[in-house]
Chains A and B, each alone.
Chain A
Amino acid sequence: MSLTKRIIPCLDVKDGAVVKGVRFLDLKDVGSPPAMAEEYERQGADEIVFLDISASVEGRRTLLGVVEETAKRLFVPLTVGGGIRETADVRAALNAGADKVSINTVAVQRPEIISECAKDFGSQCVVVAIDAKRRAGGWTVYTHGGRRDAQLDMVRWAKRVEELGAGEILLTSMDADGTKDGYDIAMTRAVADAVSIPVIASGGCGSPRHILEVLRETKAEAALAASIFHYGEWTVGDVKEYLRRNGVEVR
Chain B
Amino acid sequence: MPLRIELADYGVGNLHSIRKALENCGAEVHVAEDMALLERAECIVLPGVGAFDRAMERLRPHGEAIVERLNEGVPCLGICIGMQVLFQRSAEGASPGLGFLEGEVVRLSAPRVPHMGWNEVVTADAIMDGIEDRHFYFAHSFRGRPTDGSAVGHTDHFGSFPSLFRKRNVYGTQFHPEKSSSAGLAFLRNFVRFAEGCA
What is the interface of chain A, defined by CB distance below 8 A to chain B?
Answer: 1-6, 41, 46, 68, 71-78, 91, 94-100, 119-125, 167-168, 196-198, 221-222, 251
Contacts and interface: CB of A to CB of B under 8 A. Distances in A.
- Interface SS, A side: loop
A124 B81 CA distance: 11
Interface string B76-118: 0000010000000000000000000000000000011111111
B16 A221 contact: no
Contacts of A3: 112, 115, 117-119, 138, 157
A240 to B, nearest CB: 11
B12 A121 contact: yes
B54 interface: yes
Interface stretch (B30-38, B67-75, B173-181): B173-181
A77 B139 contact: yes
Interface of B: 11-14, 16-17, 20-21, 49-51, 54, 81, 111-120, 122, 133, 135, 137-141, 156-158, 176, 178-182, 184-185
Given A3-B119, A95-B13, A196 B112 contact: yes
Given A3-B115, A75-B179, A198-B116, A120 B12 contact: yes
Contacts, number: 116
Contacts of B21: 75
B51 A121 contact: yes
B112 A197 contact: yes
B133 A251 contact: yes
A5 B116 CA distance: 10
B124 to A, nearest CB: 16
